[in-house]
Structure 1
């Protein structure tokens, strides 16, 4: 299976460049600058507000996992509170602003400009996103428009690869942790011609912790063991003094066992991409990518502890690309024109078994799948009016998308009689128009005001359309008739810089997600849910962020208050809070990082209670956790590193279905060494 990603990035990265002019005297115009990054951010970007996570914070993760770092941004959430070691991969959707959880991503996640969500499920392969491979992460809450903007109804998370200046020639680390856990990684980066090549790999495994509460364990209960690896090859080569070619290939595999012996899941991918960047008068950002993914999962009966379902094969392929052009239209404008396309296809093969009979015979064979295609054109302009000294920036953009859902089918064959039932679903297609406008006014060096309004849409994933699933005792049915979700939102904010190195921001928002896709409980059968479009979810609230660099001390904090309500006239859950949506979330990090000597980083996080289901019958209590990382340099580029997760050993409930619970990561301690990082 092969997945190829092509990267283009709309992130701003620090000006850390590898410069080389092999055949020219210093100062000549033909000097070649190779960065491995994308084009600069347009000047109107701050109008939409964002939170930036820098490289040092990425390296100071106690868990070593990107989803934990993303939790620094209050309001970021996955479908479950578990990380990518102890959650089913299909639960790893990303969303923002408490718009409700349904396991698919409502947030567009880009790696060097390439959408990385699974083509079939829509989940994010977090275990393949190693923090030390990244330069910076930018999280923008609210609808997005630019390249691949379809799908960014809750916001956009942009990840940028580390630049050459941030990558040592050689780096390595090895850690040993609680419950016989190990984590080993290495990276090799070498200059090649006028560019560079970087190869990295990571492997981690562990016996895992008991996700099942002690009073619910049985003989078949086992810890959440995990074993995964990923490799990444990135090459950057200059073409001219203003242009370069970037290539990436990523391979990964992730194996996990959850709750019961034999309840094994596997996800894997092979991604590749190629990207062309031109920073000349006519700036160009063009990319193409391909992704090949697969997923398998075995469901074990919680009453007989025999296999009840084998989701044995879910191959999927994603192909896409974009071309963005920024023509020279004068010093007051940055105009972006582009086109992008995404194609996704996938199949689900699963076998059902009779878990009530000792022989555990196979009962049904099921096959389902379909195709999706989205092609959009976009235009966006950032205008900095002349004569105002750059104080005012106005920005606006529009997208037009043609989408289609095709070749959908579902087939079930009786394993005993060979009798088959099958159905083909009607092809669908339509146009969607979305846009956004924003304004940024810098009243002074210390005060900036901003406001924005936007709209957007998200297609239901192939998983939501065609794949039912079971998490005992709940069965959730697919729905091939799901309509796209559509978002409208407004926000206003203020950014303050009262002192050098100190920033404070506040944003008030109102978002409305029409035709929101939710897992709706059947009014007659308590343990049956079906994916349905509900009238709307309304989310309004306030987001606060703060950051300070005071000598060797760095502080950052984030808080989100989100009042979310489901509007579904006539339904039992009308007026309720969407599932998996906490009202309060907060995170604070304090780090002491001198130029030399020991360093320490601590992170405190709080998540308020939330509900497992649409009827608010099952509560996930609030949780407060503390993480820490300490580094002690011992010479020659080698450091001794200690990491601690959930040092309070807080009980974090990640699932509650009628009292049947799963738990999140308990106190976990790590000790290891790193070189060159």
Structure 2
């Protein structure tokens, strides 16, 4: 009897058992491995801290800045929410920490979290919309105050409003502020620099501004003539613009007879790149760039702007002659910024900037050129007990050249009559202290000191020949002390008394005329030095205000008299805006 079939059956049975056993073992390994993988991913998440930021409707908030401050040794980390509103930090603090979330259009969120709380589950932050009066703080009144709690007439243009405007220059963007205009109502792209003084509420209708214009606390007004080069401000570098309308001489001196315009630059957060560029007819390119980054306690920023145009002929076609050419211009500016946090609420910074422009004013011999260099250094120290301190120092040097000509009646010939050069230098220092005193009172005090030197050197031509040299110039030193108090008597009644003491010394005044003829003579007139002192007191702001105070409108006609006449466009423009952020 053969045994081969039984052997085969035994072998087949053994193989089937082995297959079943192998499948059972593989399944057991897979099941036992799942908790291991899950535990590993859970541990990985436990090592980090993350969460999501949403609004009250549950929609994710993109671009919110999340700051993590650990207690004990000073340690600060920042993150930015992505398109889903999520943020993430590399590790979760073992001890307590403070979490702060800031986003445009929302109230700031701040919460203290115990150690290990954020690692158990993702944090969920719900932001509430900010009321209009709480949306921004105003520094144009020398103190950080909520917009709804200041008695001064202040208009604030936010970053969103600046981005949505079609304006290419800072002065054009400010035209949406009621009461703002330049001397000749012409934009800075076309007006002569000496006619770019700012007027607020009809005060200051001359080339020299009757309003102080500041960029992060440093003056932009020309040291010699008081006018403003609006092209020095790259629009992409601005966080907001604050316009204080009305007399502010008790805080800023006689230069603020009409008010104050302050440009507040962006503060670098993580990595940020902004670029806006456009191109228009008459060969008119424009570009504005901003780049910022943070490295530990350091932050850096670069900003630049460039504008050029081939221009158009200013004279009507029927009246043009051989001397009429397009009014072309080119202007560019750039700045570099570096800052460092030293701990204890102290931060130091430095900023260097350069601006240059050249214009052809419609004829071959008429032109003007400007070159400005400025260096600013300062610091901010915020302490809970002593108050807030702000220090600013600056130095600037400027050269302005322009020409004057005589044109024949038929506009076919042009003769040079005068060449002018205006060098000017300015240095200054300011220190300010502010501190809340109780729940309804806050005070501010400080001093400003500065020196300006300027001259006007001219070459006079007669019949195409140099006939005389004319020069004039001088120096001014100033010192100002100011103090201000803000008393919130009721939620709708605020009293803001203030006082300022100014002293000027005007010296080295002279005028020189030298005749370049055969019987040439030189006449020198020296002006006596002068010392002036002024005390200004103000108690404006005894004012009851309502929520609708900041609502404004535009009038285009008074009765039957048109105030604004719209003509055909001179330019056709198209462009794009590009922004990139990374963490």
What TM-score results when the alignment is normalised by the length of structure 1?
0.62
What's the offset of the Cα at 1:237? 1.6
1:292 is the counterpart of 2:397: yes
1:270 corresponds to 2:173: no
The change in CA–CA distance for 1:231 and 1:58 in structure 2 (over 3 A counts) is same
Q: Decide whether aligned partners of structure 1 residues 184 and 81 sit closer, same or farther in structure 2, where only a CA change above 3 A counts.
A: same
Matches of 2:449 and 2:536, distance apart in 1: 16
SS at match of 1:103: coil
Task: Return the offset for 1:216.
Answer: 3.7
Distance 1:363 1:135 in 2: 51
Q: CA deviation at 1:97?
A: 1.6
Q: For 1:255, what is the secondary structure of its paired residue? A: strand
What is the match of residue 349 of structure 2?
Answer: 246
Q: Which of these residues, 403, 407, 414, is aligned with residue 508 of structure 2?
A: 407
* Structure with greater strand percent: 1
Q: Shift of the alpha carbon at 1:17?
A: 6.6
Note closer, same or farther for the CA distance 1:607–1:419 as it changes in structure 2 (3 Å cut).
Answer: farther
- Alignment correspondent of 1:672: 575
Matched, 1:623 2:569: no
8 Å contact from structure 2 (residues 271, 292) kept in 1: yes
Deviations 1:398-437 (A, max 9, x none): 0010012211111111122342111011111111111222
* Counterpart selection for 1:152 from 241, 249, 256: 256
One of 435, 440, 447 as aligned partner of 2:537: 435
Alignment correspondent of 2:426: 318
Change (3 A) 1:27 1:341: farther
Matches within 5 A, 1:41-440: 41-42=144-145, 46-99=150-203, 101-145=205-249, 147-165=251-269, 169-280=272-383, 281-282=385-386, 283-303=388-408, 304-311=413-420, 313-327=421-435, 329-354=437-462, 357=463, 360-385=464-489, 388=490, 390-417=491-518, 418-439=520-541
Match of 2:111 in 1: none
Unaligned 5+ runs, structure 1: 1-14, 441-448, 451-493, 497-503, 506-544, 547-556, 560-585, 587-605, 610-619, 626-647, 650-665
Tell me: CA distance 1:412–1:17, structure 2 relative to 1, closer, same or farther (3 Å): farther
What is the Cα deviation at residue 208 of structure 1? 1.1
Q: Secondary structure at the residue paired with 2:252?
A: coil
Q: Distance in 2 between matches of 1:110 and 1:128?
A: 11
SS of 1:137's equivalent in the other structure is strand
Residues 202 and 229, structure 1, Cα contact 8 Å, conserved in 2:
yes
Equivalent residues of 1:228, 1:255 under 8 A apart: yes
1:308 shift after superposition: 0.8
Q: Which has the larger radius of gyration?
A: 2
Q: 2:358–2:369: 8 Å Cα contact kept in structure 1? A: yes
| Cα contact 1:337–1:379 (8 A) shared by 2 | yes
Does the CA contact (< 8 Å) of 2:68 and 2:98 recur in 1? no
Partner of 2:160, secondary structure, is helix
| Segment of structure 1 superposing worse, 96-105 or 402-411 | 96-105
CA positional deviation for 1:329: 3.4
Which runs of structure 2 are paired with 1:597-616 in the superposition (5 Å)?
606=556
Q: Deviations over 1:545-570 (max 9, x none)?
A: 52xxxxxxxxxx544xxxxxxxxxxx
Distance 1:67 1:178 in 2: 21
Inter-partner Cα distance in structure 2 for 1:18 and 1:131: 26
The 1-side partners of 2:435 and 2:482 are apart by 14
- Is residue 142–residue 153 contact of structure 1 (8 Å, CA) maintained in 2? yes
Tell me if the contact between 1:72 and 1:558 (Cα under 8 Å) persists in the aligned partners: no
Deviation at 1:105, TM superposition (A): 0.2
Report the Cα distance in structure 2 between the residues aligned to 1:138 and 1:177, rounded to whole angstroms.
Answer: 30
Distance in 2, Cα, partners of 1:262 & 1:161: 38
| Cα distance in 1, alignment partners of residues 96 and 250 from structure 2 | 36
Residues 345, 382 of structure 2: 8 Å contact kept? yes
How far does residue 624 in structure 1 lie from its aligned partner after superposition?
3.3
Provide the rounded CA distance (Å) in 1 between the counterparts of 2:303 and 2:313.
Answer: 31
Deviation at 1:439, TM superposition (A): 3.6
CA contact (8 A) 1:608 1:623 kept: no
In the TM superposition, what is the alpha-carbon distance from 1:94 to its structure 2 partner? 0.6
**How far apart, CA to CA, are the structure 1 residues paired with 2:450 and 2:211?**
16
Q: Is the 8 A contact 2:428 2:450 kept in 1?
A: yes
Please state which structure has a larger fraction of its residues in helix.
Answer: 2
Q: CA contact under 8 A between 2:469 and 2:514: conserved in structure 1? A: yes
Q: Kindly report the root-mean-square deviation, in angstroms, between the aligned alpha carbons of the 2 structures.
A: 3.1
Q: CA deviation at 1:271?
A: 1.0
Residues 380/320 of structure 1: CA separation in 2 closer, same or farther (3 Å cut) = same
Q: CA deviation at 1:338?
A: 0.7
* Distance (whole Å) between structure 1 residues aligned to residue 354 and residue 503 of structure 2: 31
Name structure 2 gaps, 5 residues minimum.
1-62, 77-92, 103-135
How far off is 1:188 after superposition? 2.1
Q: Deviation of residue 670 (structure 1)? A: 1.4
| Partners of 1:18 and 1:164 within 8 A in 2 | no
Counterparts in 2 of 1:297 and 1:73: CA distance versus 1, 3 Å: same
